[in-house]
Each structure stands twice: as C-alpha cells, then as structure tokens.
Structure 1
Amino acid sequence: MPVNETLSVYSDLCYAAALAVFMLGLLLHAAEYGFTRKPKQRAATPAAGVAAGGVATLDRPEEDSPGGAVGPGVRDRRPLAARLGRMGVALTVLAAVLQLASLVLRGLATSRIPWGNMYEYIAALCLAAVVAWLVVLRRHPVREIAVFVLLPVVILYFVAGTFLYAEAAPLVPSLRSYWIIIHVSAAIVGSGILLVSGMGAVAYLIKSAHERRPERFRNLGAKLPDLVALDRLAYRTAVFAFPILTFGIICGAIWAEAAWGRFWGWDPKETVAFISWVVYAGYLHARATTGWRGVPAAWINVIGFATVVFNLFFVNLVVAGLHSYAGVG
C-alpha cells in the first residue's frame, strides 16, 4: 500500500516535539537534583536536647523539620526542587504521549506495525522505558534517579532520530509476518523495562561507593535514595522484564523455524540475546536462592543491560547476520 505522506510528516513532527519535551524534562529533573539538599545529621547538644520539664529532645536539622520549616533568614529550596521535579514528571508524561502519537501516526501512514526498522524500534523501546519508569514512580519514591533513566532515553532518542532515521515505507518482505507483532513487541517491552533496571543498578553502585568512601561521588551519591530502595527497584523491574524477554526469545525461535527452517542457528543476534538471558537468569537465580545482593548483584545487572545495548547497536549495525536486514528481530 502507498505511504500516506501527510501522516508521515505529522509523525516526524510529533517525534521532534517529543524529543524536545524529553530534553526539557531531563533538564528540570537535573535542576531538581541540583536544588535538593544533601541529608545532614547533627548530634544532639545539651542546650538543645533538654526541653521544658527536663525531657530530652533531639536537635533535628532544619531541613528535616515538619512541613519543611526552616530557621529565620534561611531560604528553603526544597519546595522549589519539588516543584521542578513534578514539572519534570509532567513533561515526561507529555513527551510519552507525543511519542505514542508519533508511533501511531507512523503505523497509520504505512499501514503496518511501527517497528520495522532501527529508528522505529528504538523509538518504541524508549517509550516502553519511559512508561515503565512512570509506573515505578507511582509505586516507589525514587524520583531522585529520574536523571539516570531519562539521560539514556534522550541519547537513544536523539541517535535514532538523527543517525538512524528512516523514511516511512512498507515492511521489507522478510519481515512481513504476524510474528513481528509478537516477537519484536516482546523484545521492545522487555528491553525498555531492563533499561530502568540497569539504571537503578548504576545508581546503586554510585550510592554504595559513596557510602563506603564519602569523598567519592560526593555531590551525586549523597542525594540518591537509600541502597535498599535502589536494590528493590533494580531487582523487581528485572523480575518483571525477564519473563517477557524469555517469551520474546521463544517467539523468535518459532519465527526462525518458520522463516529459515531451524529454531536456532547461533546467528550473532541470537547468540548475544542468549547471553543476555543467561546473565539475567543468573542474576535472578542468585538473588532468589542464596539472597545474593549488594554490589556484586548490581554489577551483574549492569553487565546484563550492557549486553542488551551491545545487541541493539553493534550486532544490528556492525555484524552481518540473518537479522541484519532491518536491525530488528
């Protein structure tokens, strides 16, 4: 079917608008992080520790006082940081809506699923990552790591829209199968959620390094959530993404048997996908059976996400294989 050029243009405009809004949201989250005060601890003093009637009280720092009250003459920047953070979240939601509109318009323009090349695949992956992050944010107070999540999203989004951009066109013949809906969508959703998990693990490593040696990452690590919250974020998102990743690999094998007459041929993309699966399986198995957590587990999570990124770019764009025709699969 011919491509609807009008819808294609509107799709590109929504994409560009989404990129601009994503960048603005990232800047607001960075500003929130900059204005957030580092937590302080003060020892109780005899003068402040004894109240009327001889009852001992703790001398709490001003930034920990109820309602955010601070002493006279001290400017309270926490409300500003909170407002910036909420604005950043609102803009992230707006950018996600624009990106969804871009994908829908691309699909309508080409009368097909809008993830038939690297440009569309990365755009959909970024949308999955942002939606996963927004869901996490509803359940866990970890807005401090928004910069860690949105920075790779913005980078991927920019690279896809500039260096990997492809004109709207019908699918190449080798991709005209209903399996592209099932297999590739599972890869998109799984990889997007793993991006959130990987960035949570990176934040965990930074926070852990800062707690062991406070002079390391002094301005970055002190403002991050506690290690328990970061570990929980990285682990639970990986638990959710792993079955989706497994389902995607199984569907890919079924599609390979239908297209090439074999379920598995150790094609470069298949091999690296299997390596990613093994790394995440090891990570989840160690956590579930032996309670292995902390820095070693976080490093395994980061290595797993690194293999996903390697598979996305190096295998698709550099290595020749059966999956090289469109950079997806």
Structure 2
Amino acid sequence: MTVDPMLSSYSDLLFQGTLVVYLLAMAFYAVEYVSARAPGAAEAEQVAEQVAEPAAVAASGGSAGTGTADLGAVSAENADVPPPGNAAREPKARRSRASTFGRMAVSLSVLGVLLHVGSIALRGLAAERWPLGNMYEYTSAVCFAAMVAWLVLLQRSGGRTRGVRRLGVFVLAPVVTLMVLAGTVLYAQAAPVVPALQSYWLVIHVTTVTLATGLFIVPGIASILYLMKRSGRPAGFAAKLPAQETLDRLAYRTTVVAFPMYTFAVICGAIWAEAAWGRFWGWDPKETVAFIAWVVYAAYLHARATAGWRHVGAAWINIVGLAVVIFNLFFVNMVIAGLHSYAGLG
C-alpha cells in the first residue's frame, strides 16, 4: 500500500483552507450576535422615549395649550408608535446589518463543509484507505460531523432561523479549537494503518462513533446556553440567546439522533473486539469510558421524560455527557495505555 504525496499535500491545503473559512464564519457569527438586539429591546426603547418626551415637557412647565392632563394621553397604543425620523430607522438598519453578517456566516459554513469533505476524501485517496486511522483524521471527521449537524439544525429551524443562527459562534468555537489541535498537536502524515485497523469494521464502527461524537457537541453546547439563558446571567449575554424552549428542544432533538448511532457504534465495537481479541468486552479504558458515556446519555433521555428532571436536571446530565465524550476523545486516547492506543500521534 503506497501513499500519494501530492494528494496528501492537497488534503492538507484543503484542511488549512477549511480552518480559515471556519474562522471567518465564526467571526461573522460573532458580529451578528454582538450586533443583534435582545428580543423586545427595541420596543422597550421606543416606549421609554414616548413616555420620557411628555414627562420632560411637563417638567419644564409645558407649552401653550399643554397641561398636566396630557401626561395621561400616552397610552399603550401611542407607546407602540415608533419614533419619527432616523430614530425609527436606526434599529432596523442595525438588525439588517446583523442579519447580513449572519447570512454570510452561514454561506461560509457551507463553503467550509465542502472544503472539509474534500480534505477528508483526498486524505483517504492519498493513503488508499478509509480516512479514520489516527487522531488527526478522527478529530477532523468529528468537526465535520458537528458542522453538518449544525447546518441541518439551522435548515430545519424554519421561521426561527434568525434566532437559532446566533448560536453559530458557540458551535464554531469548539470546532475551530479542535481543528487547530488536529492541525498542530495531533497532525500525522498520511500513511497505512496498523494491522489492527485493517478491517471493514473500521468503516462501520469508527465512522458511526465519529459521527455520533460530532453530533453530541451541538446538544452539549445548547444545554450550556440553556442554563445560562435560564439563569439570565450574564444579563446582556443571555438576553440575546434564543428562548429557553428553543435551546432545550435543539439539545433534545440532536441527542435523540446521536444516541442510537452511538449505541450502534458501541455494539459494533464489541463485535469487532470479539473478532480481533477473542472477547466482546474486556473493560479496556476506552471501552469503559465509552460505556459510561452511553449510560450518561441514556440517563439524559430518561430525565427528559421524568417530571422534575426534564429541564435543568436533564441539561446538566447532557453537559456531563459531553464532558465524558471529550475526555474519551483526548485523555483516554493520548494518556491512558490500552488496546485502543494504536492511533497515536504522528
């Protein structure tokens, strides 16, 4: 089995291009989030201006034909009338600019995903194998799965697209961090895999666990933001987040998709272990932590159907699940020695 250095070089270039595009997308998502107004903020300002204006007139003694009785004329209907001139157009212009940056961020996300899949495909063609043979390739594929999950969620959000889109900066932040780690600390040259990985189970088991891990990133982030939104702290930050119900629903629906995939991956791993090592389960460190993650996510889904746990309690369990998955991704692979320690650093 040979390695094509030209295809490998092109794969690396596409990976670097993907990282740059993701960074730009994250910056544009951040601009949209910072520029966006909290729900109801513009209307509150308009009401305050309508109430403050007659109050100021009354404080100065009023004008001819204007008495204190005019203060009662500011009803709720009048308060909803936007102030004239540029004051009415400014919030709309600001929202328009924020929306423009958001749409640009989504376009960059799509472009990044296309470059990303090209990088992964060329890596596989260069090494003439399935491109999930080491930590660099695995981490890259996890980020790809997370981005695809994010774009699918965004597309399915329907009329709530603008509010949900503000979450892009929080999804891109861990993805970009993992991409930087993959391209530096975890990078490995394209090469044939060790004999233990030369099996069709690599395609089935490692692919499904990679996709599930990538999907788990999105609900984990959504649950963290849900708790921040619910607590209202920090106030200015939490006010711009989507509604609590939206964040909770995003976390649950994504986990419902990822959990069966993860379950299938664990079962396939046990079958592969029996074929390779003569036993279905040996409590290897990675097997053990993978099982713990499975139990945590099963507990999350159970909590979502249990009164008293379905919101805050379930969100905390979901965050613990994400922490266990990240721990399994890095610490178990890179620090703890075990039968799964073959995908070392290059």
TM-score with structure 2 length normalisation? 0.86
1:243 pairs with 260, 268, 282, which one? Answer: 260
The 2-side partners of 1:194 and 1:77 are apart by 34
Could you tell me which runs of 5 or more consecutive residues in structure 1 were left unpaired when the two chains were aligned.
Answer: 50-55, 64-68, 211-215
**Which residue pairs with 2:188 in the alignment?**
166
* Alpha carbons of structure 1 residues 206 and 73: separation in structure 2 relative to 1, 3 Å: closer
**Count of aligned pairs between the two proteins:** 312
What is the RMSD of the two structures over their aligned residues, measured on CA atoms? 2.0
The 2-side partners of 1:320 and 1:184 are apart by 19
2:223 pairs with 181, 197, 201, which one? Answer: 201
* Alpha carbons of structure 1 residues 169 and 72: separation in structure 2 relative to 1, 3 Å: closer
**Which residue pairs with 1:184 in the alignment?**
206
The alpha carbon displacement at 1:219 in A equals 2.3
* Alpha carbons of structure 1 residues 234 and 74: separation in structure 2 relative to 1, 3 Å: closer
One-letter amino acid of the counterpart of residue 117, structure 1: N
1:57 pairs with 77, 101, 114, which one? Answer: 77
Deviation string 1:73-131 (CA, Å, 9 cap, x unpaired) is 66731000000000001001101110100000001111100110000000011000000
Residues 293-308 of structure 1 correspond to what in structure 2 (within 5 A)?
Answer: 293-308=310-325
2:243 pairs with 226, 233, 246, which one? Answer: 226
**Which residue pairs with 1:281 in the alignment?**
298
Matched, 1:47 2:64: no
The alpha carbon displacement at 1:218 in A equals 2.0
**Which residue pairs with 1:23 in the alignment?**
23
* Alpha carbons of structure 1 residues 78 and 271: separation in structure 2 relative to 1, 3 Å: same
One-letter amino acid of the counterpart of residue 319, structure 1: I
Identity over the aligned pairs, expressed in percent? 55
One-letter amino acid of the counterpart of residue 134, structure 2: N
Provide runs of 4+ in structure 1 moved above 4 Å.
43-46, 72-75
Could you tell me which runs of 5 or more consecutive residues in structure 2 were left unpaired when the two chains were aligned.
Answer: 52-71
The alpha carbon displacement at 1:289 in A equals 4.6
Q: Is the 8 A contact 2:297 2:318 kept in 1?
A: yes
* Alpha carbons of structure 1 residues 194 and 286: separation in structure 2 relative to 1, 3 Å: same
Q: Is the 8 A contact 1:70 1:76 kept in 2?
A: no
Matched, 1:99 2:116: yes
Deviation string 1:5-38 (CA, Å, 9 cap, x unpaired) is 1100000000000000000100000011111112
1:145 pairs with 167, 175, 184, which one? Answer: 167
The 2-side partners of 1:289 and 1:295 are apart by 12
**Which residue pairs with 1:66 in the alignment?**
none
The 1-side partners of 2:324 and 2:279 are apart by 24
2:153 pairs with 125, 131, 136, which one? Answer: 136
* Alpha carbons of structure 1 residues 194 and 58: separation in structure 2 relative to 1, 3 Å: farther
* Alpha carbons of structure 1 residues 238 and 6: separation in structure 2 relative to 1, 3 Å: same
* Alpha carbons of structure 1 residues 80 and 267: separation in structure 2 relative to 1, 3 Å: same
The alpha carbon displacement at 1:60 in A equals 3.5
**Which residue pairs with 1:53 in the alignment?**
none
Q: Is the 8 A contact 2:19 2:176 kept in 1?
A: yes
**Which residue pairs with 1:119 in the alignment?**
136
Which of 1 and 2 has greater Rg? 2
**Which residue pairs with 2:60 in the alignment?**
none
* Alpha carbons of structure 1 residues 61 and 313: separation in structure 2 relative to 1, 3 Å: farther
One-letter amino acid of the counterpart of residue 47, structure 1: A
The 2-side partners of 1:103 and 1:278 are apart by 31
**Which residue pairs with 2:107 in the alignment?**
90
